[in-house]
Amino acid sequence: MKKISKIEHVLDEIQTPCYVCEEAMLEENLKLLHYVGEQSGANVLLALKGFAFKALAPLVSKYLKGCTSSGLHEALFAKEYFDGEIHTYSPAFKDEEIDAVIALSHHLVFNSFAQLQKYKVKALGKCSIGLRINPEVSSSPVDIYNPCGLYSRLGITKENFQPQLLDGVEGLHFHALCEQDADALEAVLKGFEAKFGAYISQMKWINFGGGHHITREGYDVEKLIKLIRDFRAKYRVKVYIEPGEAVGWQSGSLVASVLDVLHNGMDIALLDTSAEAHMPDTLAMPYKAQIRGAGEAGEKTYTYRLGGNTCLAGDIMGDYSFDAPLHVGDKLIFEDQIHYTIVKNTTFNGIKLPNLAVLRKNGKFEVVSNFGYEEYRRRN
């Protein structure tokens, strides 16, 4: 997939910090996901937890079948901004929200038989009811993103499965992957069929969850298509997949400015952004974000430790090197900062939330959300 970022053409216009989603790059992802849907017969949904960017909802709705939400607020957001189906799964629903969730949702997925029994009567005839199961197979690279790890609360294991309570249940859902290839899905499907195969044919649909890294260079798209087609042919069920990351993958960046340059044993640049508040997965996963034009420490002539503008000592993006010294006012482009950033960021330390902007296909740069003190005041 050829993606060409054009952000450098509008860099002068950008007030930092700012997340900039590039419409053309996002559309490349959406076209590929649409192709997967067409070729495999799967219904491809956007997982809002990874990418909820309302200004781009019309574009997403052009290519995908709807949204999957993690509870009332995401379901409301899906209804307000997107077209298509709304699927809602939550580890546990609440009495005061369930009626609204049912009214909004086409599919409602429970995480336990207790929740199913509690809310089934309300949901019957209004939503297609499903259960999240835990296939207990996952090769997720890190524990924090492994839904099938030891003592996981996410999904029903085979040991806790109660077939006598399946009346009214039309679907099964699993989510076991994180940034993984079709081979990993194949292994999960084997485990799923081995444990729950007896119940698949009595279902109307099976949801294969998210974590499919479909839009990453080198992902075996044809293998995914074959896996889904074979599964559909074998069991005669509808198949859903609900990627989040694959929708927003490499669709834009976070642009920040250098505020100060210090020296304490090494050169340090302070930026008007924060790893902790604006790029939380760089600390949680953890991973090191790429910066356009920068190398690893020592690779180019000028090495700096880059730090955020908060008082958290560990608010550090990492050590990077550059061809030229950094100066106050220089802009840095952190690559691939659209998925799981905007949806997770905070106003920690009162730091300004980065604005949201779209670089349109026609080259127009548009700030679509402008954040200031209000955000901090409302949340504290």
Ligand X SMILES: Cc1ncc(COP(=O)(O)O)c(C=O)c1O
Contact footprint for ligand X (CB under 6 A): 47, 49-50, 68, 89, 175, 178, 209-211, 242-246
Strands (E), 137-212: 171-173, 205-207
Residue 364 Cβ vs ligand X, minimum distance, rounded to whole Å: 29
Of 175 and 331, which has the nearer Cβ to ligand X?
175
Residue 58 Cβ vs ligand X, minimum distance, rounded to whole Å: 21
Residue 245 Cβ vs ligand X, minimum distance, rounded to whole Å: 4
Angstrom distance (rounded) from CA 213 to CA 179:
5
Token pair recorded at residue 149: 């790890």
Of 11 and 144, which has the nearer Cβ to ligand X?
144
Q: What is the enclosing helix (H) or strand (E) of 284?
A: helix 281-284
Token pair recorded at residue 347: 């106003």
Residue 59 Cβ vs ligand X, minimum distance, rounded to whole Å: 18
Of 7 and 48, which has the nearer Cβ to ligand X?
48
Of 141 and 363, which has the nearer Cβ to ligand X?
141
Token pair recorded at residue 112: 């336990």
CA 31 and chain centroid, separation? 17
Of 68 and 134, which has the nearer Cβ to ligand X?
68
Residue 244 Cβ vs ligand X, minimum distance, rounded to whole Å: 3
262 forms beta bridges with: 268
Q: Angle at which helices 95-104 and 72-81 pack, to 10 degrees?
A: 30
Of 172 and 246, which has the nearer Cβ to ligand X?
246
Angstrom distance (rounded) from CA 238 to CA 41:
8
Q: Angle at which helices 182-200 and 221-235 pack, to 10 degrees?
A: 10
Angstrom distance (rounded) from CA 304 to CA 263:
9
Strands (E), 38-161: 43-44, 46-47, 66-69, 85-89, 107-110, 128-132
- The DSSP 8-state label assigned to residue 288 in this structure reads P
Of 30 and 256, which has the nearer Cβ to ligand X?
30
Residue 178 Cβ vs ligand X, minimum distance, rounded to whole Å: 6
Cα angle 31, 36, 40 (rounded to 5 degrees) comes to: 150
Residue 47 Cβ vs ligand X, minimum distance, rounded to whole Å: 4
Residue 189 Cβ vs ligand X, minimum distance, rounded to whole Å: 16
Residue with smallest beta-carbon separation from ligand X:
210
Of 94 and 153, which has the nearer Cβ to ligand X?
153
Angstrom distance (rounded) from CA 10 to CA 252:
13
- Radius of gyration (Cα) for the chain, nearest Å? 22
- The DSSP 8-state label assigned to residue 266 in this structure reads S
